[in-house]
Structure 1
Amino acid sequence: MDINGLTDFFMWCTILNAGFLVYIALMCVLFPNWIYQVQSKWFSISKEAFNIVVYAFVGLYKLFFIVFVLVPYLALLIIE
């Protein structure tokens, strides 16, 4: 795979992961009670613990997105 193919790959990874991150954030902001109701049917968890888990998941996902997708894409753009 050449550098252009790798750049295209990371570009699409960035677009898809950023879209997913925005989707998750919007769902958590706009429909937090609905998400909790759906998840509490599957798992016995308090509302406070659920909020902590969701906040940690979104933060960890954002961190992994930046480190493993966005930074390599920006590095490829710089060296291209």
Structure 2
Amino acid sequence: MSDLTTLATFFGWSTVLNIGLLVFAAFVLVVFNAQVKTLHVKYITLDTADLNTLYFSFLGRYKLAIIMLNLVPYWALKIML
């Protein structure tokens, strides 16, 4: 029982930290959009119009990964306890 509690705590804090990182990334992309695009255009050979699609795709996939790999295991462990 103690191991499951420790594992549930781990997944809970992992979820909180990853959601915080997701919110921070979304904030940076919204507030500093021009600066981020300028930085990425230097390193990636894409148009600035395509970068918005990449940013949206990244945030969506990261959110989905958080849900599947952190939040669902946390809920499952909470149900078991």
Say whether 1:43 aligns with 2:44.
yes
Identity %, equivalent residues: 36
CA distance in 2, matches of 1:33, 1:2: 47
Unpaired segments of 5 or more residues in structure 1?
Answer: none
TM-score (norm 2): 0.91
Over aligned residues, Cα RMSD in angstroms?
Answer: 1.2
Extract structure 1 runs of 4+ deviating beyond 2 A: none
Find the aligned partners of 2:75 and 2:30 in 1 and give their Cα distance: 29
The unaligned stretches of length 5 or more in structure 2 are none
Q: How far did 1:28 drift?
A: 1.2
- Distance of 1:25 and 1:49 partners within structure 2: 17
**2:12 matches 1:11:** yes
Give the letter aligned to residue 56 of structure 2.
Answer: Y
Q: What amino acid does structure 2 have at the position aligned with 1:20? A: L
Task: Output the CA distance in 2 between the equivalents of 1:70 and 1:48.
Answer: 33
Cα distance, 1:15 vs structure 2 = 1.2
Counterpart in 2 of 1:21? 22
Paired with 2:58 and 2:32, the residues of 1 have a C-alpha distance of 16
What is the count of residue pairs matched by the alignment? 80
